[in-house]
Amino acid sequence: MQPLVLYDTTSKLPGNHWSPNPAKPRFALSYKGLPFETVWVEYSEIATVMKSIGAKPIKRSDGSDMYTVPVVSDPNTGALITDSLEIASYLEKTYPEKPIFPNNSEALIRAFDSAYINLVSPAVKFLIGRSAEILSPDSAKFYIEGRSKVFNLPWDEFTSEGPKREAQWELLEKAYNTVHDWYQKSNGKWIMGDTFSYADILVACLMLWYKRVLKEDEWTRISSWNGGKWAQLLTDVEKECNLALKAVT
């Protein structure tokens, strides 16, 4: 079997990876035991590289095209897939061993994905601000312009300290109190009880983003929430996927 190719965006951090969406197929590929290699792309060069390989753009809310990562190329089938959720669906259909949508749960996990993102998204402006700090100058400039446009906000809304920052923290903690309640309704370790699934990968990959871009004391703050639930979940998902943070290159 030839290795699949994962296109991910690079950073100034050790190991490069930071973005939550490319992390999702990384975890899924690793969980399924599929060989893969990573092509690292500067954030500012994503559109150029994706066009060069023939990847499809996704649609912005205004209907315009946007090239993004992750993209996965599978030389075994000739497939080229954009969007983390569509990649997960493709991997499940093409390589069904070790399912990430167990018990025919893809439709429910898609709904979970939407609910989770809608819950957390209003609280992550300061995390977007932190993300710009770990990019190269050209990529940071591109990232700042793009995020300001998508959210229709001046950049200082993403970087402001004081009461605005604390309000974001409170909103994020409230969101994870809700996610914690979801997990509490499970009778096991995972969102589906004793059954690991892509839903747990979705939660863990945002945690990975937080851990990678936040200051140490900020990550410690998140790690303290809900009895240490979120740092432990990230550790557990990394272990389940045979993908410890230190092993990613």
Residue type, 118: N
What's the rounded Cα separation, in Å, for the pair 70 and 92?
16
What's the CATH number of domain 4-94, 1.10.645.10, 1.10.340.30, 3.90.1520.10, 3.40.30.10? 3.40.30.10
Give me the phi and psi of 70, to 5 degrees please. Answer: -85, 150
Whether residue 19 contacts residue 189, with contact meaning beta carbons closer than 8 Å, is answered with no
For residue 61, the model assigns a pLDDT of 73
Residues of the chain with pLDDT under 50: 245-249
CATH node for 102-247: 1.20.1050.10
pLDDT of residue 248: 41
Where are the alpha helices (H) located in the chain, listed in sequence order?
20-32, 46-53, 84-94, 106-120, 125-132, 137-151, 156-159, 163-184, 198-213, 216-223, 229-240
d(CA 106, CA 88): 9
Peptide bond preceding 70: is omega within 30 degrees of 0, i.e. cis?
A: yes
| Contact partners, residue 202, CB within 8 Å, separation at least 6 | 24, 109, 112, 113, 116
Q: Copy the structure tokens of residue 143.
A: 């990232």
Dihedral, 79, 83, 87, 88 alpha carbons, nearest 10: -170
What pLDDT shows up at residue 190?
98
Q: Evaluate whether 4-94 and 102-247 have a shared fold.
A: no
pTM over 0.85: yes
Q: Give the C-alpha separation, 202 to 155, whole Å.
A: 27
**Which of 38, 51, 43, 53 lies closest to 19 in space, CA to CA?**
43
Task: Give the SS3 label for residue 193.
Answer: strand
List the chain domain ranges: 4-94, 102-247
